[in-house]
Structure formats: C-alpha cells, structure tokens
A and B are shown apart, each in its own frame.
Chain A
Amino acid sequence: MNKVYLAAAFSERWTPDSQLRLSSPFFRRMTALQKSVVQAFAALDAMAPAVMTQAREQNAPIFYSSGFGELSAMLQVTRAIMDHDLPVSPKEFQHSVQNAALAYLSMTHSIRHPCYALSGGFLSADNCLQMAQQRIAYGLDSMGFVIHAHEYLGQNGADRAQAEILLLSHHAEQAWRVLDFCRDGALEDFTIHRPEIFTEDDSRIPPWLLNQGIPAAARMVRSLSGESLVTQWLPIP
C-alpha cells in the first residue's frame, strides 16, 4: 500500500477585517465560510507553488467537509419558512447546498478538479481525510485536497469562518508528515463519537473550531478524534 504524505497545509481565518488574497467579482455575494475556503486555497498557492502546480496538473480531487454545512444560509431559509416569510431568498437557498463553497472555489480559481462535498457528523474532517487518504493509499489518486471549514455563528449571523486545507500526496519529496490511520476500533466509531465541547466567547463550540495556524493542520485531526485516536500524523523518518 502507498504511503500518504502531507505536502502542504494552511489554516485560514476569515473575518470582515481580513485582507484579500485575491479579488473576485463573486465576493460581494459570498458567505464568510465560502471566502475562508477560497482564501485558504489562494494562500496555499502562494505558499507552495511547486506542489500546487503538480496538483493542478494531476487534476487532484478535492474532498470538502464542513461543520454542519452552510449554517447561516440554511438558518435564513428555515427561519423564513417557520415565520411564513415567503418566498425564501433565492440567494440563500442556492448557498444552502453543501457544495456551495466548492462551487465558488472552482469559479474563483478556475479549477475544474472533481469536487466532493462530504457530510460526516462530528468527525466530518476525519471522514473527509479518510476518503482522500484511502484513495491515495490504494493508488486511485496520486494527490488530493482535504478542506474542512466552519462558520462561527454570532449575533448577526455568521461573519467569521475558519478553513483548514491539506494537500496530500504519495510523493515523499517535499513532504512534511506521513499520514497514518489507526483502523482498530476507531473506524467503527467514526461518525458517531462525540468529542468534548470547548468554550470560547461564551459559546460552546465543537473543538475543530479552535484550530489555529499551520501546526493545527496536523493537530486538527488529532484533536478531533478525542479518546480514540483515529488519525495520526507522524514525523518523516
């Protein structure tokens, strides 16, 4: 079986004050979640141009998961229906599809890679990582992206978001880490295990929201898995 390496990673936090990494005519309509994903990809482009070129040439698939999808868009639509405030907003409805951020990623970066939106419960990011990792390990892909994003819901909807992006590869050169899955037991509890809830800004928040910085790209998965360690990042021997 092929080894799977981490070739590049970035963690992007989007707030209304964030600096633009790229300009796009779509921005006026995009949610914080969508912007965080698009900007994280742009950051990875700037940070690791060589492997990103490789990934583009190989049409590397993108596996995307999110903490409960397009929360604010879904909230707007369900709220409108509950309050009989019809018709619902067409913009919010088309943003409520789980692959909306992927669609904007594809449009803003002109990339036509296969894009998959996955839903994995409390361990969405792990589930997504498992998909990309297995495909490389079993020789289906030589490179693959994993993106996990989450919105922070505040008083006025979601104006902040966080995205983690990982580029996995079977190429050992330029790699930072080896990715390894512990199958025993962990796989069975993959989607159901409920991790501990942390507190930030008086809100109880799932722990994947708390990741920051590049090392978190590795920590992300480890912290997610709670007691049963689903994913391990090992140093390059």
Chain B
Amino acid sequence: MPVQKSVEEIKSEIKQLLLEVSNLPGMTPDRIDDQLSLFQDGLGLDSIDILELVVALDKRYAIKVRNDEIGRNVLRNVSTIAQAIHHSQLQTAN
C-alpha cells in the first residue's frame, strides 16, 4: 500500500505544480499563501490555467475535477485543493 502523503506535503507539491502550469513571471512557491485565491483577486490565473491545472491534478493524483460548482469550490486555493486530494487518497486507500 502506498504511503499516504500529508496535507502539508501535498500543498507544497501543488504550489510547484501551479508554477509549472501557469509560468507566472517572478513567482516562487513561498510567495503563494495556502489561502491565496487562485483567480484574478489573488494569484491571477485565468480559465486556461485552471484547465491546465485540472489536467495536471488528474495526471499526478488521479483526481477528476469538473468545471462545475463542486469543482470551483475545490479550486479556490492551495488549501482546498490539498484537502480534496488528501480526502480522495484516503477514500482510495480504504
């Protein structure tokens, strides 16, 4: 059985992933707060970045996020994404 990653570990991975998909100039993982909004009022990602992130999450964590209300709640910030992944990994493990 694979070792469960902690929420903190996942958060750190997601910050790296965010930079990879968005290529935001001058941005570093330590400048992304867990609660910072990913959208225009925060990190400034747009719909294409978000779709790219969704694909990256699917490939890395096998988690499917749809472009609907549930999906948008998951994609609010690093913390909400990490919790959703952690939750889905626990469910898979059980």
**Do these two chains interact?**
yes
Query: Which bucket holds chain A's interface residue count?
Result: 10 to 19
Q: Are B51 and A91 in contact (CB under 8 A)?
A: yes
Contacts of B25 in A (CB 8 A): 27-28
Cβ B23 vs Cβ A89 within 8 A:
no
Contact with B along A66-106 (1 / 0, CB 8 A): 00000000000000000001011111001000000000000
A17-41 interface with B by 8 A CB criterion: 27-29
A90 pairs with B24, CB closer than 8 A: no
**Considering the chains assembled together, what is the distance between the CA atoms of A28 and B48 in angstroms?**
12
A91 touches B24 (CB 8 A): no
Q: Are B22 and A90 in contact (CB under 8 A)?
A: no
Q: Is B52 located at the chain interface by the 8 A CB criterion?
A: yes
Chain B 1-47 residues near chain A, CB threshold 8 A = 21-25
Q: Hey, which chain A residues are within 8 Å of B52, CB to CB?
A: 89-91
Q: Report which of B48, B55, B58 forms a contact with A29, defined as CB distance below 8 A.
A: B48
Q: How far is the CA of A94 from the CA of B47 in the complex (A)?
A: 12
Q: Which of B21, B24, B58 contacts A87 (CB 8 A)?
A: B58
Provide the bound-state CA to CA distance between A173 and B47, in Å: 46
Q: What is the CA–CA distance of A85 and B59 in the complex, to the nearest angstrom?
A: 8
Residue from the list A27, A28, A85, A90 in contact with B51, Cβ < 8 A: A90
- Tell me which of A27, A28, A85, A94 has the highest count of chain B C-beta atoms within 10 A of its own C-beta: A28
B residues in contact with A88, CB < 8 Å: 55
Q: Once bound together, how far apart are the Cα atoms of A89 and B51, in whole Å?
A: 8
Q: Is the CB of B23 within 8 A of A90?
A: no
Take A90-B48, A91-B48, A94-B48 as given contacts and tell me if A28 and B22 are in contact as well, using a CB distance cutoff of 8 Å: yes
B residues less than 8 Å from A87 (CB atoms): 55, 58
Return chain A residues, CB-CB under 8 Å to B23: 28-29
In the complex, 18 of the A-B residue pairs with CB atoms within 8 angstroms, ordered by the A residue number, are A27-B25, A28-B22, A28-B24, A29-B23, A29-B48, A85-B59, A87-B55, A87-B58, A88-B55, A89-B52, A89-B55, A90-B52, A90-B55, A91-B21, A91-B48, A91-B51, A91-B52, A94-B48
Residues of B in contact with A (beta carbons under 8 Å apart): 21-25, 48, 51-52, 55, 58-59
A residues in contact (CB < 8 Å) with B: 27-29, 85, 87-91, 94
Q: A29-B23, A91-B48, A91-B51 given. 4 additional CB < 8 A pairs? A: A27-B25, A29-B48, A85-B59, A90-B52
